[in-house]
Amino acid sequence: GVGAALAGNLTFMVGGVEQEFNAAKELLTCMGSNVVYCGDVGTGQAAKICNNMLLAISMIGTAEAMNLGIRL
């Protein structure tokens, strides 16, 4: 989020040509503390989507558990 961006703690999952990634990595490390090369074009987006899905599943489970606890 915004706080992580201001603190320079973002994570970047990057796909594309490895030489271009290496050229951009120095710039990305100014904004994020974790920069990961994921492979071909699109793999960074795929990794981000998987990460977001896992976080959403975790949040849904937490919300359902809280709802069940309140109702019980």
Is residue 20 very low, low, confident or very high in pLDDT (cuts 50, 70, 90)?
A: very high
Catalytic residue, candidates 48, 55, 71, 72: 48
39: CB partners within 8 A, 6+ apart:
15
> pTM, whole model, 2 decimals?
0.77
What residues contact 32, with CB distance under 8 A and at least 6 apart?
8, 9, 10, 11, 12
Domain locations along the chain: 1-71
Neighbours of 14 (CB within 10 A): 21
Question: Is 48 part of the annotated catalytic residue set?
Answer: yes
Q: Tell me: pLDDT of 1 over 80.
A: no
pLDDT tens across 23-62, in order?
A: 999 999 988 999 999 999 999 999 999 999 999 999 999 9
